[in-house]
Each structure stands twice: as structure tokens, then as C-alpha cells.
Amino acid sequence: MSCNCSPGTSCDGSSSVPVKGSNEDKIRKNKQLLICAMVLILFLLRWFHIVDSFLGIDLAFFAIFVGAAPIFNRAIESLLNKKLNTDVLIVIAIIAALAVPKSHFATAPWLGFEFNRLISSRFFPAGSVIIIMLGIETLEMFTLVKMKSAVDKLMALAPKKARVRRGQLEVEIDIAQVKVNDVLIVKPGESIPVDGIISKGNGSINESAITGEGLPVEKSENSQVLGGTICELGAFEMIATKVGEDTAISRVIRLIKDAQNKKPEIQKYADKMAGIFIPTVLAIAVLVYIFTQDPVKTAAVLLVACPCALSMATPAAVIAGIGNGARKGILIKGGIFLESAADVDCVIFDKTGTLTFGKPEVTDVLSFNEMGVKKILSFAASAEKLSEHPLSTSILLEADKRKVTYSAPDSFKVFPGKGIFAKVHGKDVLVGNRKLFQDNQIEFRSNADEEILRLEQSAKTILIVAVNGVVEGVIAVADILKNDAIQAVKQLRELGIKKIVLLSGDNESVSQEIGRQLGVDEVRASMLPEDKVLAVEELKKNFTVAMVGDGINDAPALSASNVAIAMGSGTDVSIACADIILKTNDVRKVAETLRLGRRTLSTIKGNIIFSMAYNVIGIALSATGLFIPALAVIFQEAGCFSVMLNSALLIRFKEKPIF
């Protein structure tokens, strides 16, 4: 049976492309925990002689087989890819420990009979290494936060049904059945099903899901509307122009998939160092065997050099760093993102909802005559009381804040895209933009015109108030900066960030004004989701880029960045795409996150340097015969403890690491 579905989708239209946060992470964690617990239990049963064998196989050897299997698989895969990592050295050490005959194992009388009986087992060194490594892997795996599918969440937001006109009837059909040139009906509060052009009626459209613009956009006949946006006020008929995979919401989904597939896996710092360390250790082990012909000394060298402390260097610091961040409201989805954050030298901010509040607020109320600010606000609030427009809501909130009394109008009429007319206490009240006043042939006095022009040049939305045909005042509304936004940019400067960029779906004048207030290096306005992705990709050529956003329209750019940081108040889609989430919504936490990443990486490097120096001492003691294999393992475990102790200091954040 053939299928004509597009690549990346199943026949029912759902995504089949694997994305971050699938259930595989949960399965892997549970499997890892099960293996770790099983191996530990088997060794305890064997070492305390509760059970010695299973189906004739020594229980310790069986435990080694179970525990080492995943390590062997990764080592083989690494060798096939012509790479050396810590797994390769661990496997060599395990094989060396098992290859040494029991008769070659020495004891240390000063340690006591019972301890000697334990460590003289040929399975003790290999078993100890496996238990340590499984513990490290389990610890590291449990630092991951559950990651949900961004694409699944975004698809859930897309409308499932559409209301289509069929002759004189309105028929509700599945979204997949909508065709180009179909006439669709959209009512207040509904999502627009597909892209199209309004053929009849008008509406106030919330396009933040696609463009990120905070204020609703007024649409009338012949205006273009986008699927996935919301008609907050008004109702209209529209002609479908793009359906299915061609709609704006589908393009955003594709952008997220493409960006996540292109995002490279960042190599861990420990693995980079392992490429130098492992060949050196292997060369030393070969030389020890050539000069001593002693397999026990050779095995001891390999075991003491087994990169337990090296492997612990990253996860121990990462766990401490993630714990530190969690206490401060910084949720980090994995250690690799902390390492990446340390290298960031360019920060890109979305505007709406990230640096601004994402909703209109009254910034100015001016009186041009003797009426006074409170009276103007009272007339405007009364006129707007029955309106559901976001600008009306901001006026009512401002009136409440200033304790201004207002009442419902005797009558009112809405002029879409222009403003409102109302009868308030027998007086004619107009509240709206210049177009409304031009249509009603109401002129401005020179002082009023100058003030209105000044506010417009400040990138604010202007609502002019007239009573009985006389312009009495003006109310300015804007999506204002968060209190901590300017300080956040200043902190990034102090941290040495080379470039700070503002991206916005809002218009040029508003975006430039916000950029000027913040003091960023570059402002790019009127950005669609695909434009933001292109901007991120362009900047990634010269910088390590952190993208900070909160909206659906930011999700593709978040996925494309080196480090994706989402505001906790943002959409589920942006949070799912993010590597780091600022739960407190304090944008100053961006600098704190990058600082934490740098401190974590510094701790990791310190751990690695210490573990390598520690291994050099252990190798020297083993090569001279002072360490038997069992003592080599114990010495190595002491190094692991030291690394964990140093990493634990990271939880306090202000304290400097020991190493």
C-alpha cells in the first residue's frame, strides 16, 4: 500500500520526526537505573556469600557481564568511528583485570583478613570499576529534566476544525478538508484555521503566535490573515489562500524540526581531554609490561588510570551547577547546556514578553484644556467600559489604578481600526486614532498636535479623547520595558558579551525605540519566525549564540541557537524548545545563567586537571609495584571522592573551587 504523505509526517498528519524530549529519555533513565541496581545487588550477594553462582556462572562474573554490556557497546561504537573516549579505557581496564589469574593477585596483610579476602577476588577490581561507572552514568542521566516535544505542543495549538460556507449553509469540517478558495467564517475568540484574505467584515487579530507583536492588529476587507492567529474582536468571512503544509503555523513547525535536526551535538570537555589522556595511558601500560613482564603491575596501571575521576569530573560539577540554578529559579535541562552557556559571547533577545510585559499599558495621560487628567480618563474609561479590546482594558486598569470613577456609557459604537463613539452622561465622547478624527472632521489645536506627534515619535499607540467635538486630551499606550530589562543588558556587558541583538516582530519605530532605551548593539524589526532563524544562523558564523524568548514565534530560533533560554511565563512550545528556563521571569537571570555556566566549566576543568595529576601519581605507584590492582581501584575511588567534594562547592556558587 502506497502513501502520499509528505516527509516527516504520518498518514494522519502527525509528526513522525523524532524531536527533543521524546519518551526515549524516560525509558533510557529507567533502564539505566534498573541495570545499576541489578549489578549492585548481584555483587553484594556474591561478596557476602549469600549467593555464589547463577546457573553455574560465578555471580560476580554475571554481574560484570550485565553491567559492562552498555559500556562495551559504546566503546566498540567509538572505535568503529575512529574515536577514543573514556569508555575505551574503561573496557581495556576491565579486560586487563579479568585477564590476570587469581594466583597473581597479591594481598596487603596490614589491611586485615576480611578485607584481604574481599580484595583478593579477581572480580573485585573489575566489579568496582563497573559499579562506579554505572553510578556516574545514572547520576548524570538523572540530571536531565523531562523534555516534551515542542512540535507536538505546537500542533496541538493549530485549529482542528473550520467553519466553511457551502451555499447558504455554514458547515463545520475537519481542517484537513479545507481547500484553497473555500470561504471560511471566523467568529470572536476563535483561531483562524488557515491563511487567507478577509472578504467581508473585520476583526482585531492577535498575531503574537506568529509575529510576536504584543498589540492586536486591526484587519478589514482585503487584509491578509494567518492560520493559528486569534480573532479577539469582530467577525469576518475569509477566502482560504494557503492550506495544509503551506500555512504560517505549518511553516513554524517545519522550522522547529529543521533547526533541531541541524543543531550539532556538543562534545563534552572531558571527552576532548580523553583523546589526549587515553593514548598516553595505553602507551605507559605497554611500556610497563615490556620492562617488567608483570601482568599484575600492568593491570594495576590500567585500573588506577581508569578514568573514574575523569568521568566524574563533568557530571559531579553539572549536578552541583544544576542544583545551584534550580535554587535560583534557573531550570537547566542538561549539563551539556551549562557547558555551552560558558562559551556564549552573543545574546539575542526577543522583545515582546521577554524584555517587555507583552501587553499594552497606559504610559501618558495629557490634558490640553482645563478638563484635567482624571476627568479625561473618566470619560475615556466610561466610553471603553463595554469594549473587549486590549487597549480598552489598559485604559480601565489605569483608571482603577488612579482611583478614577467611571460608568457604563448610555450607548456606544465601535469603528474597527479607528476607535469608539459613546454617549457618556449626555455628552458625545470620541476615543481613537487620527483616522477617526479625520472622518469626523475634528481638528487639533497646535499645542495638541505637537504633543500627539511627540508621543507618536516615541513609538506609542495614541488614543485621542474628544468631548462634544473638542479635543480635550490624549492617552498614550505602549508595551513597556520590564523594570529589570536595562539592568539585564548592563550585566551582560559587564560579563564581556560581545554582541547583544534585539529581534522583534513589531514595527520598526517601536523596535528601534525599545532598542535605544536598552542600549543594544543591533535591532531587527518586523521579523517573522523564519527571519529570526536566519538571523540566528547568520550570527552563529561568528559567535556562540544564546537566544532568549518566550513566544511560539521564537521556538524555531530557540531551536537553532547554541543555547536556548526561555522565560517561564512563555508558551509551552518555547519552553519545550528551550535548553534553559528562567522560572522567575527575571531577565537578569540570563547573565546569572551564563556566569553559572562559566563557573561550572571552570570547575569541570579543575576536576579534570586534578584527576589527571592524581592518575599520574597512581600510575607511578602501580608501575613500581606499590599498588596491587585492588588498591589501585581504592586509590582511584578516593580521587572520585575528591572530585565530588570540589564540585559540591559549586552549589554555593560564590565559593571558588579548590582545584
* Grid cell digits, residue 430: 470620541
Gap between the Cα atoms of 563 and 2, Å rounded: 40
Q: Express each pLDDT in 28-80 by its tens digit.
A: 666 666 777 777 777 677 666 677 676 766 677 777 777 777 878 888 888 88
Nearest to 614 by CA among 602, 627, 595, 601: 627
CATH number of the domain located at residue range(s) 361-478 in this protein: 3.40.1110.10
pLDDT of amino acid 1: 35
Most confident of 93-97, 100-104, 597-601: 597-601
pLDDT of amino acid 380: 93
The widest CA-to-CA distance across the chain, in whole angstroms, is: 109
Most confident of 110-114, 425-429, 434-438: 425-429
Task: Give the pLDDT band (50/70/90) at residue 615.
Answer: confident
Q: 158-251 adopts what CATH topology?
A: 2.70.150
Segment among 22-36, 363-377, 633-647 with least mean pLDDT? 22-36
Residue ranges of domains in the chain: 24-146+265-322+597-652, 158-251, 330-356+482-583, 361-478
Q: Residues 233, 219: contact at Cβ < 8 Å?
A: no
The residues, any chain, with a CB within 8 Å of residue 63's CB and separated by 6 or more, are: 38, 39, 42, 43, 46, 127, 130
Gap between the Cα atoms of 193 and 224, Å rounded: 13
Q: Express each pLDDT in 513-537 by its tens digit.
A: 889 989 999 999 888 888 899 999 9
Indicate if the pLDDT at residue 467 is higher than 70: yes
DSSP state of 651: G
Asked if the domains 158-251 and 361-478 are classified in one and the same CATH topology, the answer is no
Nearest to 639 by CA among 604, 607, 603, 600: 607
- Of residues 494 and 41, more confidence is placed in 494
Segment among 228-242, 464-478, 639-653 with least mean pLDDT? 639-653
Which residue spans within 391-460 are E strands per DSSP? 411-415, 419-424, 427-432
Most confident of 114-118, 162-166, 346-350, 558-562: 346-350
CA distances from 413 to 421, 443, 468, 474 (A): 5, 21, 16, 20
Q: Express each pLDDT in 543-576 by its tens digit.
A: 999 999 887 778 888 888 999 998 876 666 667 7
Task: Give the pLDDT band (50/70/90) at residue 406.
Answer: very high
* Grid cell digits, residue 499: 554582541
DSSP state of 13: S
Indicate if the pLDDT at residue 614 is higher than 80: yes
pLDDT of amino acid 111: 45
Gap between the Cα atoms of 2 and 489, Å rounded: 55
Query: Any idea how long the chain is?
Result: 659
449 is catalytic: no
pLDDT of amino acid 76: 87
Instruction: Count CB neighbours of 177 within 10 A.
Output: 12
Q: 330-356+482-583 adopts what CATH topology?
A: Rossmann fold (3.40.50)
Segment among 53-67, 75-89, 183-197, 406-420 with least mean pLDDT? 53-67
Q: Angle, to 10 degrees, between the axis of helix 629-648 and the axis of helix 589-623?
A: 160
Indicate if the pLDDT at residue 145 is higher than 50: no
Indicate if the pLDDT at residue 604 is higher than 80: yes
Q: Residues 466, 472: contact at Cβ < 8 Å?
A: yes
> Half-sphere exposure of residue 227, counting CA atoms within 13 Å on the CB side?
31
Task: Give the pLDDT band (50/70/90) at residue 493.
Answer: very high
Indicate if the pLDDT at residue 308 is higher than 70: no
pLDDT of amino acid 199: 93
Is beta strand 224-225 parallel, antiparallel or unpaired with respect to 195-206?
antiparallel
Q: Express each pLDDT in 192-229 by its tens digit.
A: 888 899 999 988 888 766 665 656 788 888 888 888 78
Gap between the Cα atoms of 603 and 651, Å rounded: 11
User: For residues 517-551, b (16+ Cβ closer than 10 Å) or e, as one string?
Assistant: ebebbebbbebbbbbbbbbbeebeeebbbbbbbbb
In the chain, % of residues over pLDDT 70:
75
Q: DSSP string covering 474-520, please?
A: EEEEE-PBPTTHHHHHHHHHHTT-SEEEEE-SS-HHHHHHHHHHHT-
- Of residues 233 and 148, more confidence is placed in 233
Question: Catalytic residue among 87, 182, 195, 350, which?
Answer: 350
Q: Which alpha helices (H) appear in 172-307, and where do they start and end?
A: 248-262, 269-292, 295-304
- Of residues 413 and 648, more confidence is placed in 413
Q: Residues 465, 380: contact at Cβ < 8 Å?
A: yes
Task: Give the pLDDT band (50/70/90) at residue 154.
Answer: low
Gap between the Cα atoms of 393 and 400, Å rounded: 11
* Grid cell digits, residue 54: 547463577
> Half-sphere exposure of residue 494, counting CA atoms within 13 Å on the CB side?
11
DSSP state of 356: B
Indicate if the pLDDT at residue 475 is higher than 80: yes
Q: How open is the CA angle 175-22-160, to the nearest 5 degrees?
A: 10
pLDDT of amino acid 61: 74
pLDDT of amino acid 12: 33
Q: Residues 32, 135: contact at Cβ < 8 Å?
A: no
Q: Express each pLDDT in 378-403 by its tens digit.
A: 999 999 988 877 788 889 999 999 99
Gap between the Cα atoms of 295 and 486, Å rounded: 65
Mean pLDDT along residues 472-477:
92
Which pTM was predicted? 0.64
Task: Give the pLDDT band (50/70/90) at residue 257.
Answer: low
In the chain, % of residues over pLDDT 90:
19
Gap between the Cα atoms of 52 and 280, Å rounded: 38
Q: Find the radius of gyration of the CA atoms of the chain.
A: 33
Task: Give the pLDDT band (50/70/90) at residue 465.
Answer: very high
Q: DSSP string covering 433-445, please?
A: -HHHHHHTT-PPP
pLDDT of amino acid 451: 86
Secondary structure of residue 101 in the 3-state scheme = coil
The residues, any chain, with a CB within 8 Å of residue 391's CB and separated by 6 or more, are: 215, 360, 384, 461, 463, 477
